[in-house]
Structure 1
Amino acid sequence: MLGSQGAFAQAENSAEQKIIALSKTKWQWMADKNADSLAALFDEKAVFVHMGGSWGKQQEVNIIKSGGIHYKKADIHKVSVNIIGSTAILLNRITLLAVVGGREVTNEFEVTEVYVQQKEGWKLGSLSFTKVGG
């Protein structure tokens, strides 16, 4: 039988697994240019930070839909999740193969994803790319 701390840890671990699965699904939707599913996942006030600047939800969805940035494949090397109240912070170390401005590029990133739990489920509030390596 689980004590209250054990039950809490199990629930938190379950939420962490849900966030990890949601993040993986998001990368697949980005690769598939599934703009409608991404638009439903992204909070209206979401922010996106890239090497070339930062912008909001609608611009990110439009960039993905138009192919301005095509996230072809994200190889995930490491992932961790911290849950603070109704906020989940996920860190991914990835190698990203993308097409940017018609050029195929590969970069190593530490990606920070912030999810907020709302009535309808987890919503992405922030996605930030930090270039690492050479």
Structure 2
Amino acid sequence: MTTNPNTEQELITLSKDKWQWMADKNVDKLNDLFDEKAMFVHMGGSFDKSRELEIIKTGFVWYKQVDIHKVSVNIIGSTAILLTKITLLAVVNEHEITTEFEVTEVYIQQQAGWKLGALSFTKLLVP
């Protein structure tokens, strides 16, 4: 599969949309985006697609607001890796928590479009 010159911007937009869908708890859109074999790594553990969707739907973790500071895109064949620096305002156990993260997103280009294969959060140490 080939990529066109607008692929990087397409992926950046898709990632941004994903954050909004997570904030809105729009599991229908996320279900379409997440590959069946997708993996998710948080500070509290790692999950498969069904568990991640359940976490979002129930509000166990509510990705209330994401401020995106920087995004880089690296495309290798039909795989895209996005590194995104964010400030995440989340609600966990009824407590609002603001955390700085570097998020790694792995997308795989398929016939139906880009699918998210992995999402991993790394907490940043900021002064």
Query: TM-score, normalized by length of structure 2?
Result: 0.95
Mapping for residues 12-27 of structure 1, pairs under 5 Å: 13-27=5-19
Distance (whole Å) between structure 2 residues aligned to residue 63 and residue 23 of structure 1 = 19
Alignment identity in percent?
Answer: 67
RMSD: 1.3
Would you say 1:115 and 2:94 are equivalent positions?
no
Please give the secondary structure, in 2, of the residue aligned with 1:31. helix
Q: For 1:81, what is the secondary structure of its paired residue?
A: strand
Q: CA deviation at 1:72?
A: 0.5
Alignment coverage as a number of residue pairs: 125
Gaps of 5+ in 1: 1-7
TM-score, scaled to structure 1: 0.90
Distance 2:112 2:83 in 1: 23
Give 1:59 deviation, angstroms: 0.2
Q: 1:76 matched to which residue of 2?
A: 68
Q: SS in structure 2 opposite 1:133? A: coil
- Specify which of 20, 26, 31 is matched with residue 34 of structure 1: 26
Counterpart of 2:81 in structure 1 is 89
Residues in 2 aligned to 1:59 and 1:126: alpha-carbon distance in whole angstroms: 14
In structure 2, distance between residues paired with 1:62 and 1:121: 24
Looking at CA atoms only, which structure, 1 or 2, has the larger radius of gyration? 1
| Structure (1 or 2) with the greater helix fraction | 1
